[in-house]
Structure 1
């Protein structure tokens, strides 16, 4: 039986705060309070969302709010900066720089999350999230 996972992320001023998580299936339900870490920091590399996905799990990630990707570009939402595109050396080249991205497992392929992402897990692994950027020192947040 496939599980349904709903992950809601709230990035605010260079951080993402988990506002809710529902996972239903044979393992039961995971709530936001059960997560060890509820934030995704804009100044850190890949960060565990505290959720293990299994091949076939359906999941949704929703994000809102703002964070700082570059000091000269101003604040923007999880969809990324409206002007700057991610160059080839970013974890996910092509979409906007500073967007919210994810991956399943430590070696998984990055995917664009932005404000909303819905998919079915193609592999087993921990869900990781981060900002699509190569230099974290100029990002703001806690």
Structure 2
């Protein structure tokens, strides 16, 4: 089944996810993050490109059978998107977009994602369709996400691996309630709660409105919240997806957003 087995495969593209679980990646870039899909998953694409699907295994020689996957996308039909689509140089190997009804399109043979092991040579492990077995030479990844002032967990869309060097920088201000007022990503400075801490906050030692991070592993476990503030560089000790949130105990009167830039080396 698409949810995978109870066992794991340490050499699979997602070593901590269930063996055989349905996974995907966008584009031919071997450094693109791998998405664990399983039985169902909603996610926002972090790049343009074709979506490739496979199962989470390190060896496919004895694999058989198939999954049926239904994919639904939501598109922005505003003028900005239309102008961008008209100007974009399309990949000559891509499927032309006849319309948004992707299920009414003619059936075409599925294209296979290039296998390069992240080296660009095309000589990687042929049993690894995502080219992820060797990841020592992964190219840096970088994106910017918006974290609303009332966020209790914004998905960054980035899957991190143990040993990555991660740099996060945040700008902007939010209103963290009437008492705290407008604050930077470092949170409210001064006041009893910022000095003594507030046990009701996800990160009690930081002030109201501070930017926090959480790593959620593929088995559903998550780390303790950690302070990001205006800037943080760290190395994850385990694989996981980065989520960003605001340090507060009442989000109903918060507003504004931080612009958060994330770079993974």
The equivalent residue for 1:60 is 167
Change (3 A) 1:117 1:100: same
The equivalent residue for 2:154 is 47
Would you say 1:112 and 2:227 are equivalent positions?
yes
Runs of 4+ in 1 over 6 A off after TM superposition: none
TM-score (norm 1): 0.72
Corresponding residue to 1:73 among 180, 188, 193: 180
Task: Please report the RMSD computed on the Cα atoms of aligned residues, expressed in angstroms.
Answer: 2.1
Higher RCO (C-alpha under 8 Å, 6+ residues apart): 1
Tell me the distance in 1 between the aligned counterparts of 2:249 and 2:166.
27
Tell me the distance in 1 between the aligned counterparts of 2:206 and 2:142.
31
Tell me the distance in 1 between the aligned counterparts of 2:213 and 2:234.
12
TM-score (norm 2): 0.40
Change (3 A) 1:79 1:31: closer
Cα distance, 1:30 vs structure 2: 3.6
Q: Which SS does the other structure have where 1:71 is aligned?
A: helix
The equivalent residue for 1:95 is 206
Q: Which has the larger radius of gyration?
A: 2
Question: Where do 5+ consecutive residues of structure 2 fail to align?
Answer: 1-134, 258-265
Tell me the distance in 1 between the aligned counterparts of 2:227 and 2:256.
21
